[in-house]
């Protein structure tokens, strides 16, 4: 290689380095985008209020000595003689059983992976798709606040990932891990001792593991007689000096009640109407029936008694919290887009006929026309790309774009640019 060629190559390398550095410098200084995640959202006519939960509850007690191990979850249905809790001399036996349960869960997962049918029918490409879909599903569950379902899906995700590792790395040995777990579980089981005594249900009921002191005051039998000032005085933290010997309470009825004051001028609910409510701690709707509506003298403060027949772990974790009541109308679901992010761009769009079909010319080509199209810019890597909107709802602060509108439209979890991009897409 002669000296001239060497010099030219050095110059080209220097020019390339300068261009690369300039590009990085430009992106850092002049393309500092501010983005907002495109999330799932739903709207409906609603009214928020502070709701108090009323149930027919009977406090359960024990001697007050020893370590308690609960054998049922909150909200569980008990039969006559069902075990509520076991009492041990100290915490060691409870910790031992917790460790055994965790190991048994791991063993179940490993046995699923080692199942010959799992490995025989699993392909790396299919497993990759399952891992991706399960991950997205868990993100959606997290966005909705459904942590119980999210935790349930965690084991499936672990199985998919471990199976993928086993198929792509055949040398992975799970049998030794399974044998070690089985030996450890067997060893720990030999250390278990019987409880000093067992607490059992004396009747058929539902169980809640905490006591807040309102059990005698808030009864379903007198829910209609509760005064507004009594409702206002209730706290989710409970009453102080609760009985130290209380281990929980039994709930006699499946139905329970929500009592509170809300603005009924917009919803116009009447007694015996059905509606939906969303609890602050539960990001999904519950069905309720309006049992009673009483005026408090303020047109925006109607005291309501709502009956709910959905009794689960989630619905017994609070005594008072923020509740949103919604009349039974169609919920509008879509992708939330802030109005500040909306831009317009001229695009070549297909021309539709009177039946909504794409028009074709004599050669079979799609007929297009330039259209000023509404959309947003989303951040893809370091570039701003235009995505169309299919508006189904508009508000003063945001709009909803249709879910899964198709290619070229904004999608769930896109990074929408709300600041740093001009009307024409420039920065």
Residues facing residue 302 across a β-bridge = 262, 295
Alpha-carbon gap, residue 183 to 177, rounded angstroms: 10
Share of the chain above pLDDT 90, in %: 34
C-alpha closest to that of 46 among 400, 322, 315: 322
Alpha-carbon gap, residue 41 to 51, rounded angstroms: 23
What b/e sequence results for 44-78 when a residue is b if at least 16 CB atoms lie within 10 Å of its CB, and e otherwise?
Answer: bebbebbbbbbbbbebbebeeebbbbbbbebbbeb
Token pair of 84, please?
């509520």
C-alpha closest to that of 42 among 414, 400, 409: 400
Residues 6+ apart with CB under 8 A from 13: none
- In 310-367, DSSP assigns E strands to 320-327, 332-338, 342-350
Confidence of residue 2 (pLDDT cuts 50, 70, 90): low
The distance in angstroms from the start CA to the end CA of the chain is 45
pLDDT at residue number 289: 94
| 332-338 and 40-43 beta bridge pairing | antiparallel
C-alpha closest to that of 279 among 254, 308, 246: 308
Residue 384 contacts residue 425 (beta carbons within 8 Å): yes
Alpha-carbon gap, residue 289 to 273, rounded angstroms: 6
Confidence of residue 303 (pLDDT cuts 50, 70, 90): very high
Q: What is the dihedral of CA 236, 237, 241, 245, to 10 degrees?
A: 80
Confidence of residue 10 (pLDDT cuts 50, 70, 90): confident
Confidence of residue 143 (pLDDT cuts 50, 70, 90): low
pLDDT at residue number 87: 92
| 67-70 and 40-43 beta bridge pairing | unpaired
Instruction: Give, in order, the Cα–Cα distances in Å from 133 to each of 89, 120, 139, 153.
Output: 47, 21, 10, 11
Token pair of 369, please?
């026309």
Confidence of residue 325 (pLDDT cuts 50, 70, 90): very high
What is the mean predicted confidence (pLDDT) over 234-238? 90
146-151 long-range contacts, CB within 8 A, separation 24+: 146/283, 146/284, 148/313, 148/314
Alpha-carbon gap, residue 89 to 66, rounded angstroms: 5
C-alpha closest to that of 243 among 372, 391, 427, 62: 62
pLDDT at residue number 133: 77
Alpha-carbon gap, residue 72 to 346, rounded angstroms: 62
What is the mean predicted confidence (pLDDT) over 117-140? 68
Question: What is the pLDDT of the chain when averaged over all its residues?
Answer: 83
Q: Is pLDDT above 90 for 360?
A: no
Decide: helix, strand or coil at residue 115: coil
Decide: helix, strand or coil at residue 26: helix
Place of tokens 């190559």: 9
Token pair of 390, please?
């299919």
DSSP state of 170: T
What is the mean predicted confidence (pLDDT) over 110-135? 67
Place of tokens 């609603």: 46
Confidence of residue 178 (pLDDT cuts 50, 70, 90): confident
What is the mean predicted confidence (pLDDT) over 368-380? 89
User: Using CB atoms within 10 A of its CB, is residue 364 exposed (0-12), middle (13-18) or buried (19+)?
Assistant: exposed
Alpha-carbon gap, residue 121 to 221, rounded angstroms: 58
């Amino acid at each position: 290689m002669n000296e001239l060629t060497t010099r030219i190559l050095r110059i080209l390398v220097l020019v390339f380095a300068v261009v690369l550095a300039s590009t990085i410098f430009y992106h850092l200084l002049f393309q500092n985008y501010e983005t907002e995640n495109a999330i799932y959202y739903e709207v409906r006519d609603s009214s928020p209020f502070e709701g108090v939960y009323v149930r027919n509850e009977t406090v359960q007690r024990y001697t007050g000595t020893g370590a308690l191990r609960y054998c049922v979850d909150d909200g569980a249905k008990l039969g006559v003689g069902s075990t509520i809790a076991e009492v041990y001399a100290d915490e060691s036996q409870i910790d031992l059983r917790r460790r055994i349960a965790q190991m048994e869960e791991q063993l179940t997962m490993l046995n699923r992976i080692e199942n010959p049918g799992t490995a025989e029918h699993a392909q790396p490409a299919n497993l990759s798709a399952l891992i991706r879909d399960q991950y997205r599903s868990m993100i959606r569950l997290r966005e909705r606040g459904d942590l119980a379902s999210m935790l349930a899906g965690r084991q499936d995700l672990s199985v998919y990932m471990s199976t993928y590792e086993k198929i792509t790395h055949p040398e992975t040995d799970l049998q030794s891990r399974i044998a070690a777990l089985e030996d450890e579980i067997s060893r720990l089981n030999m250390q278990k001792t019987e409880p000093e005594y067992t607490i059992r249900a004396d009747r058929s009921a539902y169980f809640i593991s905490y006591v807040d002191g309102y059990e005698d005051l808030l009864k379903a039998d007198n829910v209609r007689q509760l005064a507004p000032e009594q409702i206002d005085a209730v706290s989710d933290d409970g009453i102080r000096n609760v009985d130290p010997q209380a281990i929980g309470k039994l709930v006699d009825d499946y139905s329970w009640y929500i009592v509170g004051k809300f603005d009924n001028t917009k919803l116009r609910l009447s007694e015996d109407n059905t509606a939906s409510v969303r609890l602050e701690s539960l990001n999904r709707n519950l069905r309720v029936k309006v049992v009673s509506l009483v005026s408090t003298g303020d047109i925006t403060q109607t005291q309501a008694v709502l009956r709910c027949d959905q009794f689960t772990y989630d619905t017994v974790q609070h005594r008072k919290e923020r509740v949103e009541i919604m009349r039974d109308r169609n919920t509008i679901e879509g992708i939330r887009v802030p109005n500040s992010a909306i831009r317009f761009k001229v695009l070549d769009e297909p021309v539709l006929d009177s039946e909504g079909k794409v028009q074709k010319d004599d050669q079979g080509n799609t007929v297009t026309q330039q259209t000023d199209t509404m959309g947003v810019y989303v951040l893809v890597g370091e570039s701003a790309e235009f995505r169309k909107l299919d508006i189904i709802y508009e508000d003063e602060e945001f709009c909803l774009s249709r879910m899964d509108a198709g290619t070229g439209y904004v999608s769930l979890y896109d990074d929408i640019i709300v600041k740093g991009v001009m009307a024409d897409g420039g920065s």
